[in-house]
């Protein structure tokens, strides 16, 4: 027997469209992003992959993507669990900066170190910065865990406790689980599931609004198909190449 896990990155956000580093800034979906979410829900219906429970971050682009996709799949009524541990990677002082300008100013090597290296975080974001989330009510309980910047390694460290404590039990109860989250929090999960090395994870980019289905072995939780299966593989390949090329 296998457990079914569906990963869904939010649809295009306003700052994806403007090519800005986003991280914890709580931007909305664009019209295109909402359509991507609805399409994601339709793809789930066509494939007969119907979630029993959904986990989201605390950010509206993931929350609203989940709601739109589930509505399109007539699964708008399933239980919802949310955690900051599924939030996008905190992008530190890069939050709000233009990706193309950052590439031009700092050069390819530094730009890619900040975007895709495993353990090099951008400089921290000041608490009085207009794009800081310090003091927001949804993060009031975080205390010392409130990030000011994160690398992928940090995201894995804060994501894994939630995976073990909340998502795995839902899977083991036999539920088809939808995780609606973000490019880099989903990279953290995929790295864990597929045991991708710290070096190779740099080359993995998650497209917006494309359901990615994993069947997990019930004993080991290892994927039966490495990398999972996109419900629309051609569209997913084109869209992840576009993510890889951002800033160029
Ligand atoms: O800006 C961000 O928060 C992320 C996701 O959109 O960007 P990147 O793909 O560059 O890590």
pLDDT computed for residue 246 by the predictor: 87
Quote ipTM for the complex.
0.95
The residue-averaged pLDDT of 109-127 equals 97
* pLDDT of amino acid 206: 97
Mean residue pLDDT across the chain: 97
pLDDT computed for residue 248 by the predictor: 79
pLDDT of the residue at 247: 85
Ranges of each domain in the chain: 2-244
Q: Which residues line ligand 1 (CB under 6 A)?
A: 16, 21-23, 88, 91, 115, 183-184, 243, 246
Counting from 1 in the atom list of ligand 1, the atom nearest the Cα of 23 is 3
d(CA 35, CA 29): 10
Fold for the domain defined by 2-244: Rossmann fold (3.40.50)
pLDDT of residue 35: 98
Residues 6+ apart with CB under 8 A from 179: 5, 6, 7, 8, 54, 55, 56, 86, 167, 186, 189
Quick: pLDDT tens for 214-244.
Answer: 999 999 999 999 999 999 999 999 999 999 9
**Residue to substitute in 14, 17, 206, 243 for testing ligand 1 pocket (most ligand atoms within 8 angstroms of CB):** 243
pTM (two decimals): 0.97
Residue 5 pLDDT exceeds 90: yes
């Amino acid at each position: 027997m296998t457990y079914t896990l569906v990963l869904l990155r939010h649809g295009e956000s306003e700052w994806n469209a403007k090519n800005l580093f986003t991280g914890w800034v709580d931007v909305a979906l664009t019209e295109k992003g909402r359509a991507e979410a609805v399409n994601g829900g339709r793809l789930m219906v066509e494939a007969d992959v119907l979630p029993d429970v959904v986990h989201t971050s605390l950010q509206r682009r993931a929350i609203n993507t989940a709601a739109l996709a589930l509505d399109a799949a007539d699964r708008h009524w399933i239980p919802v669990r949310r955690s900051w541990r599924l939030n996008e990677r905190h992008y530190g002082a890069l939050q709000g900066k233009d990706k193309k300008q950052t590439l031009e100013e700092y050069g390819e090597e530094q730009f890619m170190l900040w975007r895709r290296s495993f353990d090099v975080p951008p400089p921290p974001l000041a608490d009085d910065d207009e794009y800081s989330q310090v003091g927001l009510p949804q993060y009031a309980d975080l205390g010392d865990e409130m990030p000011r910047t994160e690398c992928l390694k940090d995201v894995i460290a804060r994501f894994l406790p939630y995976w073990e404590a909340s998502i795995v039990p839902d899977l083991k109860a036999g539920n088809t689980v939808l995780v609606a989250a973000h490019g880099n929090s989903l990279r953290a999960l995929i790295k864990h599931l597929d045991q991708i090395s710290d070096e190779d994870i740099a080359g993995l980019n998650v497209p917006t609004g494309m359901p990615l289905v994993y069947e997990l072995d019930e004993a080991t939780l290892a994927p039966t198909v490495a990398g999972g299966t996109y419900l629309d593989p051609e569209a997913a390949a084109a869209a992840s190449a576009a993510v890889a090329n951002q800033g160029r």
